[in-house]
Amino acid sequence: MKFFIDTANLEHIKEAQDLGILDGVTTNPSLMAKEGISGKDQVLKHYKAICDIVDGDVSAEVIATDFAGMIREGEELAELDEKIVVKIPIIKDGVKALKYFSDHGIKTNCTLVFSAGQALLAAKAGATYVSPFIGRLDDISYDGIQLIEQIRLIYDNYEFETEILAASVRHPMHIINCAEVGADVMTGPLSAILALLKHPLTDSGLATFLADHEKAKNK
């Protein structure tokens, strides 16, 4: 399972990269705005800075919602760095854009997926990744993990190469659940990744080992 971090915060990206377990980054306009990044030139510069930190794929989202606009923006993003994956919404023109980019060897991440039917269309169009938003589904009392299971079954049935990128991950159990049902990738905040480290028995066990070491040393 690949671990992506969902942020535009360079310090969080560096910290995750330093752990040695980071496989990529996802961003979106909201995350850029959260970091105070605005204006086309600044956004492109920030994407390049992210690419310079990580070794894996970096998802960069188009703003346009028409076919021509998505192609124009996507090609410009792809030219920034070979690590760039163009993030496309699952709308009618978005499906056409996914097919265009697939035919031209440009990696894509189909975003804002909330149903198995949307994921099926994305795979048919040749998306590199499909991003079902499990946390947002949970927010409205739908089972986000069940959607991952549905997509996994469909993709396995027809041997689609599109990778399932579980998005809107909120906490460590989301990560574990996604791993259990076969998501190829999860993207979440640094807090959720670091929370996987935590267990009270690890903390108490380590405290006991260190205390015993000190006792033995002082005898």
DSSP 47-91: HHHHHHH-SSEEEEE----SHHHHHHHHHHHHTT-TTEEEEEESS
- Token output for 111: 């975003």
Answer whether 37's CB lies under 8 Å from 48's CB. no
Give, rounded to a whole angstrom, the gap between the first and last alpha carbons of the chain. Answer: 47
Residue 48 is among the residues annotated as catalytic for this protein: no
User: What single DSSP character describes residue 199?
Assistant: -
Given 2, 87, 107, 219, which residue is catalytic? 87
Which residue type occupies 84?
I
Q: Are 5 and 167 in contact (CB under 8 A)?
A: no
64 close to 27: Cβ distance less than 8 angstroms: no
Instruction: Give the residue numbers marked as catalytic.
Output: 87
